[in-house]
Structure formats: structure tokens, C-alpha cells
Amino acid sequence: MDRKMEIQDCQLVNQMRQNLQYKYNHDEVVSKMKDKELKEVNKIKLLELDYDCEIKQGKLKKDLIALDLQKQVQIVETELKRDLGKQTKQELEEATMRTKKELDLKQMALEQKDQRLAHGIALEKKAQCFLVIDSLHRDGLSVREIKEHLDLLDEVEL
């Protein structure tokens, strides 16, 4: 009878040890998955910050170019005013119109370049987001969790 009790005690101790080991392994796996998911979310946030910084830099460059163009217009106008005694009013207006047209063309070219740059940056960021989501899928994230990441991806505008 004592032997039977000892065997049952040993079985009970073994069962408790297995349960504790399972709980420890499970907690460790869950912790690693949460860390990995947190890293992926942080990657997406960093990508969004990079995108925002690049857009702001583009806007600052555009503003600097616009200021430069305004300065050029002022210089041309000043030069034209100096030459006013030599030219008729109509010639002055024609020269001013030509200068403004040239500047308008330059401005349009810069805006198109900025649009292409912003579009290219957005496509690159979106591709990087797709790679991150693909790695999340390979890491075994559920469809719901991936959907949350896709919702973040939809916020990236082209």
C-alpha cells in the first residue's frame, strides 16, 4: 500500500513538473511573439516617420526654390525698371510677361518633379510595409492581427 502511495506521489509530482514546464514554455513563446509583433509595429511607425520627414524636406526645398524664383523676379523687375528710359512701356510689359512665363514654366516643372518624388517615396514605403506584413504572416500572426497592420498600410497615401 505504501508503495502504491509512493508511485502515485511520484506520478503527481511528475504531472506537476510537466504542467509547470508547459506553462513556462508557453509563457516564453507568447513573450517572444509579443516582442516580435512590437518590433514590427515599431518598424511600421518608423517607416511612417521617415515618409513624413521626406515629405517635409520636399516641401522645404520647394519653398526655398519658390523664394529663389521670387528673388529672381525682383532682380529682373529691377533691371527692367533701370532700362525703362531706354524702352517703351509696351516693351517692358512684354519682357515682364516673358519672364513670368519662364518662371511659371520652371515652377510647373518643379511641382511635377515634387509630385513624382512624393509618389515614388510613397510606393517605396508601401512596398516596405508589404514586406513587413509578409514577414508577420510567415511568423504566424492571425488574420485579424495582419488586418490591423493592413489598416496601418492603407493610411500611407500615394
* pLDDT per position as a tens digit, 130-158: 787 777 778 887 777 777 767 776 776 54
Cβ–Cβ under 8 Å, residues 102 and 69: no
Measure the CA–CA gap between 55 and 62, rounded to whole angstroms. 11
pLDDT at residue 85, as a whole number: 63
Average pLDDT over residues 65-91: 78
> Could you write out the DSSP letters of every residue in 42-56?
HHHHHHHHHHHHHHH
Average pLDDT over residues 3-25: 82
pTM above 0.85, yes or no: no
Domain residue extents for the chain: 35-154
Cβ–Cβ under 8 Å, residues 136 and 32: no
The pLDDT tens digits for 79-100 are 877 766 665 677 768 888 988 8
